[in-house]
Every structure is written in structure tokens, then in C-alpha cells.
Structure 1
Amino acid sequence: MTQITQLFESLADENRLRMINLLIASPYLCVADFQRVLDMPQTRVSRHLGYLRSRDIVTSDRKGTWMYYRLSDRIANNKGLVSTLRSMFAKSEQGLHDIELLLEGLDDNSIAALKEADHYIVEFVIENCCTMGQ
């Protein structure tokens, strides 16, 4: 029961929910990307990501000086949960606004985690974002 409790505690904060929304849309992002889209200081972004990581909601990989965050396999492989969250975010004005900002960042090449990404990953993110409200 502890994992379920930790999951719901993690989802009880709007900022963490917004981060999860972005990681449902994009396979990975870095702290600077969350800062840009969520308009939050680095310390708060890092604190929330640390919280999510400690509860196995997100995982991180270091590439050079950058830390990339993604949904943990436990969450990403739970298609029912991801689908439910995705449909909830699609009905949320804030969730859709965050996705719009992510797309703008892709358009102006300011999403650091995806600057060097293969084109098929960027296309996946765009398609995923564009179908969010459907």
C-alpha cells in the first residue's frame, strides 16, 4: 500500500502534476526545460524533481553536465494511469497551457533536452502534444 500512498501524495501538488504532464508529453526533459515552461526557479524545480525521484515517479540520467528526467518505468508502463492523467491534463487549462509552452520551446529551439534529439523524438513530442486535447 505504501507505493499507492506515495503516488497519490506525489500527485497532490499542482507543480508536480504539471511536471508529470510535461513528462507524459516528452520522453525526457532537463531542469532548465521545466524552469522555462513552468516559470519556476531552479531550486523549486530541483526540489520537486527530487521528491518525485525519491518516490520512483521519475528517474534521472546524467549526460555530461545535464541531468535528464523521465517518467520511471513503473509509471510509464502503467498505461491506464498515464491515459487517465493525460485525459485529466487535456481538460485542464493550465495543463494545456504548459503543453503550448513546450511546443513554443520546441519551435524556437529553447528546450535544452531536445536540442540534440533525433528528429523522430521531436516529431513524437509534437504529435503527442498536438493530440493531448483530443
Structure 2
Amino acid sequence: MESSVTDTQITQNGVVLTDVAVQKVRALLDAEGRNDLVLRIAVQPGGCSGLRYQLYFDDRELDGDVASDYDGVRVVTDKMSAPYLGGASIDFVDSIEKQGFTIDNPNAQGSCACGDSFH
């Protein structure tokens, strides 16, 4: 049985970036005027629930990084964060109530009220 994904793209490590998120990352990179940056997605200790997400532009690639390309937008995840992010969906929301990247992570057993950290 063959499946197709029309509004998302799936990386090797199971992280899903929606097309809207890819477009926003591309626009931010264009605004920076640099073509040597990648979007790094990581999980770090901290936050009120134990672990927190980090999304930032990085000009380096680390040994063991899992890298993917989204129509010219390069996304990397370090090897320690990859297990926490498998199956996570990253989107960009721009509404009156909220603007920013959102992460829906099926691996999170719980999260804080603000949604910035999980356990």
C-alpha cells in the first residue's frame, strides 16, 4: 500500500515539518541573507516539565547529526535529541492569538501549561 504526504515532509528521524513551517524557515533564512545556516531542532534539559525544545539557526553541523533537506532548507537534529523527536510535527502558526512555531510531539508524556517544555 502506497501512501503520500501532501502537506508535510518527513525527515529520516521521523520529524515532520509542515509546508507552512518550511516556508517560514525559508523566509527567515532569506531575511538573514546567509546560505550557510541550517535549522537545528534539539531537546535540552530545562523548563518546568524537565525537557524543552530548541529551534535555532546554526552555522555548524555536529558529528552524528541527522540531516534532512526540505526543498533547499536544511534541518539538523543531534543524535541525542532524535529519539525524543521521532514522530513530532513542527508547524508555524500565525493568528491573532499566537504566532510562532508549534511542536506536537507524541513522545511527550506531559507538558507545561505554556507548552514550552515536556516530559
TM-score, reference length from structure 2: 0.30
TM-score, reference length from structure 1: 0.28
Higher fraction of strand:
2
Higher fraction of helix:
1
